[in-house]
Chain A
Amino acid sequence: MNSKEILKLEYTALKIRRNILRLIRAGEAGHVGGALSSVEIVTALYFNLLNVDPSNPKWPQRDRFVLSAGHKCLVLYAALAERGFFNVSILDTYGALDSPIPGHPNMHKLPGIETNTGALGHGLSIAGGMALGLRMDKSQSRVYVLMGDGELAEGSNWEAASAASMHKLENLIVFVDRNKLQISGPTIEVMSYEPLDERWRSFGWSVRIIDGHNLESIISNVKQAPFEKGKPSVIIADTLKSKGLSFAEGKVSYHYWKAKPEEMEQAELDLDNIEKQLKAKMERIGL
């Protein structure tokens, strides 16, 4: 990818962060920390990697995206709206009675949502079933999963990890958003998963560790998957929780954010600053 393409994607990531703020403004609160830490992963997927068609969301040949960590739904809604799966104004209904965008995603309410997640430890096995079914159909489609790192304490994930490797699901690509924090504190203090790469390897997966905010790295690594023949791939993406909000980055208390007005103001300023920097870069390269 050239630098122009990367910069355009960075600008899209900013728009997704703005959409996340829009959701929080509507609902007054939400799981913002893990949504913001995974913005680049989701941007790379929906604006580069995923073979999807917003005008035909059930297209059988599409790639699938399973948000196993359903509480990160703000980033999914933000990206789907930006990608044209539904009108951006739907984001303003967040928190309202009967809103099509609940606090955890519901596939029956909006196009583009593949699974009903929210209870942790479900997504990987559902995605494994999708990958198995697609392989039976000799489909070229891939299945992508986004998991949280706190979620990895759920034992059901490791059932699914065993099965995906036993069944050689090389069309399955998992991102672990390793932002290292969960609601009670640092994940390795709450329930350690380290050494995480060795753990996945021991389950028969092919593992890479990348900077989860580096769009170029995310895309180039995914394009090399499967990393090993006959194995499912996992990308451990090191990220910063609440990435983009100066007052919240790396703070456990922003796992779920009840936005105070002054914080919302600061959040807008933070994103304005990111925009200024991006625009300056874009000007320099003639975008």
Chain B
Amino acid sequence: MINELKDPRKTFGEAVLEAAGSNHNIVVLSADSSSGSGLADFLKKFPERHFEFGIMEQGVIGFASGLATTGKIPVFAAIAPFVTARPFEMFRNDLGYMNQNVKVVGRCAGLTYDQLGSTHHSIDDIAIIRTIPGVTVINPGDPVTIKKAVHAMIDHVGPCYMKIGNLKMPVLYPEDVNFRLGKGIVMKDGHDVALIGTGTVLSKAVGAARLLEQEGVSVRLIDIHTIKPLDRELILSTAKEIGKIVTVEEHFIAGGLGSAIAEICSQECPVKMKMIGIGDHYASNGPYEELLGKYGLQPDQIKETIIKFLKNK
């Protein structure tokens, strides 16, 4: 039901369990992390396909690579920075360079581990993982698309990184939404500005679009759930048709969704852009909604930023 709040980790775990029922190659690897990743039921139902490793994320990525060489589809979920920044070289060499069919899921991503501080925030994962050739990077923005993304990444042959949050998030889509990897979703059409959101703050972009419409600003609202491969066609047509793009992400401005879009637009269709995200500093700690407010990621703040952006000719 639209706007119903759902737990992203639980949703993720249910989707993996569902996929594993029909796909017997799916195995789950845990770095002392399955229970916190919504995968406790997988362990109960498929104990012979669940492998515990303890807290050794580098080792798990290597084991996942080796398992994939035998046709298994390893799913490895743990706290986002510990499956991306920490084992980056293993991700790059053992999964990317070896092109292994492994699904790495960073949970409690972005700032959703709010008060645990910068060691536990993951606001650089998109930047670093999207540098690895051949890795699909997925950042779904609601429970419905998390579920669809799990099935899509299992069906996709190749290394994937998916990030999800921690706190309950609102349903934004009907169950029958058309979700395809690499294809953005136009949530609402408009002509004054393109507002492009991703992941945990997609709902904030939705809220901002609603506020902007109330003030007479026509917004094309786009969900880019797949950061890589990026939907070039949609980005370029939007740049051409609207000419003004604002990106919203719970990530460093450096290297994130806005950067990825700018890499295309700056070369093929330069347009005015505004990137809303976190600057070149470690994020602070505190209650999640207040943290988002500190970085201008609440709907009213996004709205204000966009109004200023539109006035600044």
* Chain A interface extent, by class: 20 to 34
Which residues of B are at the interface with A, using a C-beta cutoff of 8 A?
Answer: 27, 48, 51, 53-54, 56, 58-72, 74, 89-90, 93-94, 97-99
Min CB gap B293→A, angstroms:
40
Most buried by A among B51, B90, B94: B94
A4 interface residue (CB < 8 Å to B): no
Q: How far is the CA of A64 from the CA of B66 in the complex (A)?
A: 10
Q: Is the CB of B51 within 8 A of A126?
A: no
Question: How far apart are the CA atoms of A259 and B58 in the complex, in Å?
Answer: 37
Q: A119-B93, A133-B67, A137-B70 are in contact. Are A162 and B62 (CB under 8 A)?
A: no
Which of A17-25, A108-116, A249-257, A262-270 faces chain B?
A108-116
Interface CB pairs A-B, < 8 A, 16: A119-B93, A125-B59, A125-B61, A129-B64, A129-B69, A132-B66, A133-B67, A133-B70, A134-B70, A136-B70, A156-B59, A160-B59, A162-B59, A163-B59, A166-B53, A167-B51
Known contacts A119-B89, A136-B70, A137-B70, A126 near B56 by CB under 8 Å:
no
In the assembled complex, the Cα of A133 lies from the Cα of B64 at a distance in Å of 9
| Min CB–CB distance A24 → chain B (angstroms) | 25
Instruction: Kindly state the separation between the CA atoms of A167 and B60 in the bound complex, as whole angstroms.
Output: 13
Which residues of B lie under 8 Å from residue A139 when comparing CB positions?
70
Instruction: Give Cα A133–Cα B67 distance, bound, in whole angstroms.
Output: 5
CA of A167 to CA of B52, assembled, Å? 9
A115 touches B98 (CB 8 A): yes
Quote the shortest CB–CB distance from A132 to chain B (angstroms).
6
B62 touches A156 (CB 8 A): yes
Contact across chains for A126 and B99 when beta carbons are under 8 A apart: no
Collect the chain A residues with CB atoms within 8 Å of residue B69's CB: 64, 114, 126, 129-130, 133
Q: Which of A108, A118, A155, A156 contacts B99 (CB 8 A)?
A: A108
Closest B-chain residue to A114, C-beta based?
Answer: B69
* A positions within 8 Å CB-CB of B: 64, 106-108, 114-119, 122, 124-134, 136-137, 139, 143, 155-156, 159-160, 162-163, 166-167
Contact A128 B66 (CB under 8 A): yes
Report whether B51 and A132 are in contact in the complex, using a CB–CB cutoff of 8 Å: yes
> Closest CB-CB distance, A122 to chain B, in whole Å?
6
Contact partners of A167 in chain B: CB under 8 A: 51
A270 to B161, CA, bound (A): 52
- List the B residue with the shortest CB-CB distance to A135: B70
Known contacts A162-B54, A163-B53: does B63 contact A128 (CB below 8 Å)? yes
A contact residues around B65 at 8 Å (CB)? 125-126, 129
Report which residue of B27, B62, B89 has the largest number of chain A beta carbons within 10 angstroms of its beta carbon: B62
State whether A130 and B66 are in contact (beta carbons under 8 Å apart), knowing that A156-B58, A159-B58, A163-B53 are contacts in the complex.
yes
In the assembled complex, which residues on chain A have CB atoms less than 8 Å from the CB atom of B63?
125-126, 128-129, 132, 160, 163
